[in-house]
Amino acid sequence: MTEAEAQDLIARVQKANDTIERAIKRIDELTAENLTLRLALEQYEEPVEDDEPEDCSWCRGCGEGDYDGAACRKCHGTGVEPVEKESDV
């Protein structure tokens, strides 16, 4: 091996080392990002309802029935449009 070849080899090894160092640094950054994301995910609380509940079409969301003190016959006073099909109500 000539001296020039040796120098070239050393330069290549140093370049490779730099690349590896940069890669390790990037992995560290990504790991930190990952941890942040994981923490954020752990602290994230799932909403109880996926979408907004619809106002009852019968009482328009007030939950009141035909007369004072009566509950709506469709939503039974909840004011929310029932999702399930009406059975024997």
Can you give the binding site for Zn ion, defined by CB under 5 A? Answer: 56, 58-59, 72, 74-75
User: 56: how many CB neighbours lie within 10 A of its CB?
Assistant: 22
CB closer to Zn ion out of 32 and 56:
56
CB closer to Zn ion out of 33 and 75:
75
CB closer to Zn ion out of 33 and 54:
54
CB of 51 to Zn ion, least distance (A): 18
Residue 48 φ/ψ, nearest 5 degrees: -65, -45
Tokens (6 digits) for 18: 């730099």
Contact between residue 54 and residue 81 where contact means Cβ atoms under 8 Å apart: yes
CB of 69 to Zn ion, least distance (A): 15
Contact between residue 77 and residue 60 where contact means Cβ atoms under 8 Å apart: no
CB of 56 to Zn ion, least distance (A): 3
